[in-house]
Amino acid sequence: MSNVTPVVILVFAVELATAAAFGCAGEWVARAVGRLPEAVRVLLPATLVLPYVVLTASAHSFRWEWFALYAGLPVVMAWLLGQAAQEDPEQRGNWRDALILLTLGLAVDLRWFDSAWPLGLEALGKLLLVDAGLYGFLAIRVLTGSGFNFRLHWSDWKTGLRELAYFAPLVLVFGLALGFVHPHANLPSLGNAASRWLGIFFFVAVPEELFFRAWVQNLLERRVARRTALVIASVLFGLSHFNKRSAHFNWRYVLLATIAGCFYGRAWREGRRVPASTITHTFVDWIWSWWF
């Protein structure tokens, strides 16, 4: 994320605080929301548009159509997930869940909403959608077993780094054989290394692991066997990278991302904890960004 100003820092802090509330006190937040009148519960996420308003107003790029989208989409998501909670109390997965996940996935992957944000700050748009998804799935749908938690445990590091160690030899062998990875020497400063790790963690790994593991794989496991759910979620994760670093279908990236997704999914399902898979994901992307 570039163009860092006090307003950008404020907007990031507000968006991160919303995610942190669910990550540190998700059950309490869900109970608090559950005590509100139904109309208030559905309309409350419209306030998630405020970061967009503040940022674009300061950048003189505010557009009413984007305001309507960012105010309306979280409300529609909350309404649909409220219906899903009533019609599917066993949480086996409902067409509304699939519709919302498909919309969020395509919006991020195809960059539908990127033009709403100042250049270089598109990641804040992704984080806003994360907040909307967290509210809908955790506060309205009250989806169990997601494992979204900002309180990292030693077991998360142990599991995450173990899966990294398992995946590393495979990605090197396949990546070199396919001509996808190109090792090169690069020794970053401690500050650059730390800031890039945190950037990947918050803006890449957390949103993707929340989506593909806590929501997609979690719901799939209620319909199919755990191993099948892992494979399907990993393939979907791989396909979401079809347009990365290429103007055409990047099958090499898709293949390696699918394999990576299997290890991220294994890390998540061991304790059903997003932090574990996020650690694996962050280190993979971080190491690749410096030396491959």
Q: What secondary structure, in 3-state letters, does 148-203 show?
A: CCCCCCHHHHHHHHHHHHHHHHHHHHHHHHCCCCCCCCCCCCHHHHHHHHHHHHHH
Contact 168, 234 (CB under 8 A): no
The amino acid that residue 51 corresponds to is P
Q: Which pTM value belongs to this model?
A: 0.92
pLDDT digits (tens, 9 = 90+) for 145-158: 999 998 999 999 99
Mean pLDDT of 32-50: 97
Mean pLDDT of 78-91: 97
Task: Using pLDDT thresholds of 50, 70 and 90, give the confidence band for residue 122.
Answer: very high
Domain boundaries, the chain: 6-140, 154-291
What are the phi and psi torsion angles at 198 (to 5°)?
Answer: -65, -40
